[in-house]
Amino acid sequence: MKRHALTAYALLVVAYLMLPIAVVIMFSFNAPKGRFNFVWQGFTLDNWINWDAVLGLRDAVVTSLQIGFLATVVATALGTLIALAIVRHHFVGRGTTNVLVFLPMSTPEIVLGASLLTLFLNTTAVLELGFWTIFIAHVMFIISFVVVTVKARLIGFDRHLEEAAMDLGANELTTFRKVTLPLIAPAMLAAALLGFALSIDDFVITYFNAGSEQTFPVFVWGIARVAVPPQVNVVASAIFIVAIALALANVLWQYRSAKRTQGAT
């Protein structure tokens, strides 16, 4: 009885969390008669076929994807190196670095966005507000999540595998490339997926440092004052579906990697 109650409770929680997403997806097929997509008025596929019919939407989506991809790649690379340094090496300021890594995660976004804006406004001779300031801002807050995710994997890492590889004649670079990297790759991918989701979803930090540049969240905020077209739901639904697919692929990859590791041992 207790197990069935827990199952029912879990299903209710999942339903509660998924209901808003289900509504967003459902209304991406709506055919509203006015400018606001708030009331169901009929089914249509035109919104998906003509997803970029709203002026400025395509550019905003492309900008979000470009910044999300670049920021994720850079933050994942730098965050992995920082995690390796913190876990594997003892150096002056190691404890301070460990604390500073958590600051962007614990700092309210409005504070982080305003502080970055102050920094960028004092460097306008070198860098104007726009694409690259958004990119730098996103790398700054994504990198903390990467460090925490990869560090957790490294702490539970079996160093005997590296020692065995080096005993068999592999140098440090070969050991890292053929042993360490494949074993921490699932954590890196998980961190990258999380970072990309955070980047493409961010509004507050982006709004402070965007200048005239528009990402998808900034575009939605701007257009919502005069209209809420169903194409916004289409883009949001597509992002959600792709994110779920990538997350499932990562879980499958981690499962297969674990099976291969168990088979090798």
Residue 118 exposed, middle or buried by CB count within 10 Å (0-12, 13-18, 19+): exposed
Cβ atoms within 10 Å of 253's Cβ, excluding its own: 14
Q: Domain segments of the chain: what residues? A: 55-228
Residue-level pLDDT at 196 = 93
Residue-level pLDDT at 192 = 93
Residue-level pLDDT at 194 = 92
Residue 125 makes CB contacts below 8 A (sequence gap 6+) with none
Per-residue DSSP letter, 47? H
pTM: 0.86
Residue-level pLDDT at 148 = 92
Instruction: Read off the pLDDT of residues 145-162 as tens digits, 9 standing for 90 and up.
Output: 999 999 988 887 777 777
Query: Are 73 and 66 in contact, with CB atoms under 8 Å apart?
Result: no
Q: How far apart are CA 262 and CA 51, in angstroms?
A: 46
R_g over Cα of the chain? 22
Phi/psi class of residue 107: alpha, beta or left (left: φ > 0; alpha: ψ in -120 to 50)?
beta
Q: Which CATH superfamily is domain 55-228 in?
A: MetI-like (1.10.3720.10)
Averaged pLDDT in 10-residue chunks for the chain of 265 residues: 81 91 93 88 93 92 96 96 89 84 88 92 80 95 93 82 80 83 87 93 94 93 90 93 87 76 60
Residue-level pLDDT at 261 = 62
Residue 9 makes CB contacts below 8 A (sequence gap 6+) with none
Q: How far apart are CA 115 and CA 101, in angstroms?
A: 17
Residue-level pLDDT at 125 = 62
